[in-house]
Amino acid sequence: MRNPSRLFSIVSAAIGLIVAGSVSADADFWQSPQQTVSSGEYSDSSSNPLFANLATSEQVDIDGRVLRQHEVSITQSLSANSALAMQYSQAGEQRNYVLGLQADNLTVSMMRGSGEDYAQLGGDLNGVDQHLFHGGFKQDFSVSGYAMDYRLNGVGHLQYGQATVAADGLLDRRARYLEWSNNKYFARASRFDRGGETIGSGIDLGIAFTDKRVALQTMNLENDKRMQRIRFEFDGKQSRQYWLDFSAHQNPLFEANNDYRVMFNFRTLLGANKLVSYQNDQSPTVEDEAIEDETTTDGKKKKKKGGWQRVALIGGGIAAAAALSSSGSASSDSQIRFRTQNEAARAVLNEVNPQSIRVNREFGGWVFVNPDGSFASSTAVQGEAASVRLPDPSLSVPQGSRITASYHTHAAFDPRFDNENFSPRDLQNDRDLGIDGYLGTPLGQFKLHDIETDTVITLGTIATE
């Protein structure tokens, strides 16, 4: 679909026709449906009780992989109006630690974490392709952040937080948000930075019926990159819950990935097999008229997340948003990506071949695959009339990417050379490196030296002027 935002706009307009009534502001609204596969609980009955919960859950990500997450939560009541809470979460190589303190109307949460990529502990960005806006970097990172929530009596909650994702050799990625919420609505504004420079913003809005909820989520980044998502969540009979998602993705730098998606999911809650942990249901929190329980269609109470849990969940989501918004490299974020190696090579040769002919100089560079599986090319360097020295890969190819091919042109027609074919030296260079080679010729032929079969194939034509 050439304009994926069109369907999104139609669905957005429809919200005004179907939404009314009371609302609950769920912090984990965007979490993908998951199933608790094991859980354990502990509590004591002292005047300042201790609550502990251990749970393992599974969910299916956007690529169909089953992700297993382990979570340990401990809450210690300090008084009637205060509590200290700790949480540890792990999914694959990713780990998050959260410490929360609630005292009267104020809740403060500190977070630290580490991992290889921020794909599995995604909070509010759960279900969104982590490489939607960039090709990514597969390397160790650390994340830190904090959030503060203040309960405004009779009005709701005001919350502010920020998170920073850092990795060696990359610019820090930071996200900040300001949110207001009560039991009827939530509204959140976010800002995304890379190396101290603002690169985009986001909006989250939510409203729901007693047994139906609707939320809107948007991200707008540099280079006109956008994500828009609407989720309809509703309760069914026999403890079933359903999700219907409409999403639209636009990235002019990776047009092959522009699309819209419609996803439908459901889950069934059976006995102790709850999505909401024991801690969320039972741990001591400040009395809050702005966070009330819901009653589902089967008459059961669905506990709402209040206090430090809401701060922790949104804080984790904003860290994921920081990683989603940028790879940490301005050049990689502005990189044009393609689905195949041939497409990436054709695009760069189509661009540089006319200039190569005009100035009678060879141009060359590398084609590489990004961590997300997409392909791109390095900036072409200019050589001489009959040769070009390819650039240093460490300076021209992003960290975490792998070179799969070289490319070069053969300048203008010269009767002294066989410009329309790879030279013996060209072919041997490819063999020495063990990678494919691409050639653009003065007559506009687009050729591939397939290293696997050691044969030359003409793939089509490219521009000459």
pLDDT in tens, 192-244: 999 999 999 999 999 977 788 899 999 999 999 999 999 888 877 766 778 78
| Mean pLDDT value of segment 99-109 | 89
Calculate mean pLDDT across residues 66-81: 82
Confidence of residue 340 (pLDDT cuts 50, 70, 90): very high
The mean pLDDT of 6-19, rounded to a whole number, is: 38
pLDDT for the residue numbered 176? 95
Cβ neighbours of residue 85 under 8 Å, at least 6 residues apart? 73, 74, 75, 76, 98, 99, 100, 101, 102, 279, 283, 308, 309, 312
Alpha-carbon 435 to chain mean position:
31
pLDDT band of 69, cuts 50, 70, 90 = confident
Q: Which residue has the higher pLDDT, 452 or 96?
A: 452
Whether 271 has a pLDDT exceeding 50, the answer reads no
Name the segment(s) of the chain with CATH classification 3.40.140: 336-461
DSSP 8-class letter at 322: H
Query: Is the model's pLDDT at 294 over the cut of 60?
Result: no
The vertex-135 CA angle with 2 and 12, nearest 5°, equals 40
Query: Residue 166 corresponds to which amino acid?
Result: A
The topology under which CATH files domain 336-461 is Cytidine Deaminase; domain 2 (3.40.140)
Going by pLDDT thresholds of 50, 70 and 90, the confidence category of residue 371 is confident
Does 390 or 4 have the greater pLDDT score?
A: 390
Provide the H-helix boundaries in 146-240.
none
First to last CA, the chain: 31
Q: What is the pLDDT of residues 111-161, one digit of tens each?
A: 998 887 655 555 566 667 778 888 877 678 899 999 899 999 888 899 999
Q: Which amino acid is at 315?
A: G
The tens digit of pLDDT for each residue in 305-318 reads 445 556 655 666 77
75 compared with 304, residue with greater pLDDT: 75
Q: What single letter denotes the amino acid at residue 280?
A: N
pLDDT at 128: 73
Give me the mean pLDDT over the 245-250 stretch: 88
pLDDT digits (tens, 9 = 90+) for 32-53: 545 555 556 666 666 778 888 8
For residue 415, what are the contacts with CB-CB under 8 A and spacing of at least 6? Answer: none
Which pLDDT band, with edges at 50, 70 and 90, does 289 fall under? Answer: very low
Residue 182 pLDDT greater than 80, yes or no? yes
Full-prediction pTM beyond 0.85? no
Q: Do 86 and 74 form a contact (C-beta atoms < 8 A)?
A: yes
User: 265 pairs with which residues across the strands?
Assistant: 243
**What mean pLDDT, rounded, does the chain reach?**
79
Question: Is residue 359 scored above 90 in pLDDT?
Answer: yes
For the stretch 416-457, pLDDT in tens is 889 999 999 999 999 999 999 999 999 999 999 999 999 999
Query: What local confidence, expressed as pLDDT, does residue 19 receive?
Result: 33
Q: What is the mean pLDDT of residues 156-175?
A: 92
pLDDT of residue 132: 83
Query: Three-state SS for 433?
Result: helix
